[in-house]
Amino acid sequence: MPYPTPRPPAPNGPATCPRCLAQVIWCTTERQKAQMVDRDRDERGNQAVRQDHTGRWLVRQLSKDRPTPEGAEALHMPHAATCTAPPLPVHGTRRRMSAGRVRVGVRPHRWQR
């Protein structure tokens, strides 16, 4: 094939969490990012979820400007807050060297003398 295959669409709709296998809904945020929310409605949740006329699941976070669900929106909890799997490690953090590998000094190169 002379052209690369197109990128697959972002997941959207009911599915399972790939880490803890719980029932979730993949939604799209206002900034077109994928976000998982718990499938069951929860009045303690802060995510307003609705399904548009094309069948896409859309989510927005409640804010001071819009503090309550509007129209066909329902409150759900973000799955990141309730996932039972351990959190992923944060990339970009510096790891400390063990006590046996502590560097005291480095030999200078010829141009550094």
3 or 44: which carries more pLDDT confidence? 44
In a domain, 112, yes or no: no
- Under the banding of pLDDT at 50, 70 and 90, the label for residue 31 is very high
Q: How many domains does the chain have?
A: 1
In a domain, 1, yes or no: no
113 or 73: which carries more pLDDT confidence? 73
Evaluated on CA atoms 64, 70, 75, 77, the torsion sign reads: negative
Q: Which domain holds residue 65?
A: 8-83
In a domain, 95, yes or no: no
Closest CA to 58 of 13, 7, 8, 9: 13
In a domain, 107, yes or no: no
Supply the pTM of this predicted model: 0.70
Residue 87: the pLDDT is: 78
Residue 22 confidence (pLDDT) above 60: yes
